[in-house]
């Protein structure tokens, strides 16, 4: 389990960087994708939001899946009170990410302060369909967003499913690599 203690100093604490280094070694040795199956911390932890953002950025760099462990209800929960109001942690965890990639992902990043998202991937023979990206528009892009594929702006018409909050981007046949970028308007 990856967790911070009651005091997390993002400048001095090596928890995330040590974990990232060791998991990269293991993933490389196994030749397998990485899944961070349990992580979290109490909301009362000093610099709670910074720890969460560092873990999520590390997961993106590792192209790793993850599951937040919330211990509902309680101090690790993303909801509180009888009204079940979301905490600040819900905003941090609800972020833009690739759900399905039509190829092999090589890099992914999300900047929570701006909403900028980038996905790089290589097409693969026999892989077809669209790359699907979850985009929490209502939460993080209230004025909308722009999307580009390989530097060319795309119209959201026909590729944005507002009900599912999913962007479906297809690329034509041909060489890669490809890059999808999303930016706030």
CA–CA gap between residue 22 and residue 31 (Å, rounded) = 14
- Residue 46: which pLDDT band, with cuts at 50, 70 and 90? confident
Q: Are 76 and 69 in contact (CB under 8 A)?
A: yes
Residue pLDDT, tens place only, 25-34: 988 999 988 8
Tokens 């953002």 sit on residue: 53
Residue pLDDT, tens place only, 76-111: 788 887 888 888 888 999 999 999 999 999 999 999
Q: Are 160 and 116 in contact (CB under 8 A)?
A: no
CA–CA gap between residue 78 and residue 89 (Å, rounded) = 6
End-to-end CA distance of the chain: 38
CA–CA gap between residue 101 and residue 127 (Å, rounded) = 9
CA–CA gap between residue 124 and residue 64 (Å, rounded) = 20
CA–CA gap between residue 59 and residue 24 (Å, rounded) = 11
CA–CA gap between residue 83 and residue 68 (Å, rounded) = 22
For residue 149, how far is the Cα from the chain centroid?
19
* Residue 171 burial (CB count, 10 A): 16
Q: Mean pLDDT, to the nearest integer, of 166-182?
A: 88
* pTM, rounded to two decimals: 0.86
Residue pLDDT, tens place only, 6-16: 555 655 667 88
Q: Are 52 and 89 in contact (CB under 8 A)?
A: yes
- The listed range with the strongest mean pLDDT (15-19, 46-50, 136-140) is 136-140
């Amino acid at each position: 389990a990856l967790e911070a203690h009651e005091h997390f100093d993002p400048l001095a604490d090596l928890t995330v960087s040590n974990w990232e280094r060791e998991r990269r070694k293991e993933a490389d040795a196994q030749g397998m994708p990485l899944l961070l199956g349990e992580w979290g911390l109490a909301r009362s932890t000093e610099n709670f939001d910074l720890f969460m953002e560092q873990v999520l950025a590390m997961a993106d760099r590792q192209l790793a899946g993850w599951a937040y462990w919330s211990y509902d209800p309680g101090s690790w929960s993303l909801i509180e009170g009888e009204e079940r109001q979301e905490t600040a942690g819900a905003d941090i965890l609800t972020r833009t990410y690739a759900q399905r990639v039509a190829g092999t992902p090589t890099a992914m990043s999300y900047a929570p302060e701006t909403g900028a998202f980038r996905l790089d991937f290589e097409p693969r023979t026999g892989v077809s369909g669209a790359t699907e990206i979850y985009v929490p528009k209502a939460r993080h892009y209230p004025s909308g967003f722009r999307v580009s594929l390989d530097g060319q702006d795309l119209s959201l018409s026909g590729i944005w499913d507002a009900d599912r909050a999913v962007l479906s981007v297809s690329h034509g046949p041909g060489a890669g690599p490809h890059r999808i970028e999303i930016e706030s308007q």
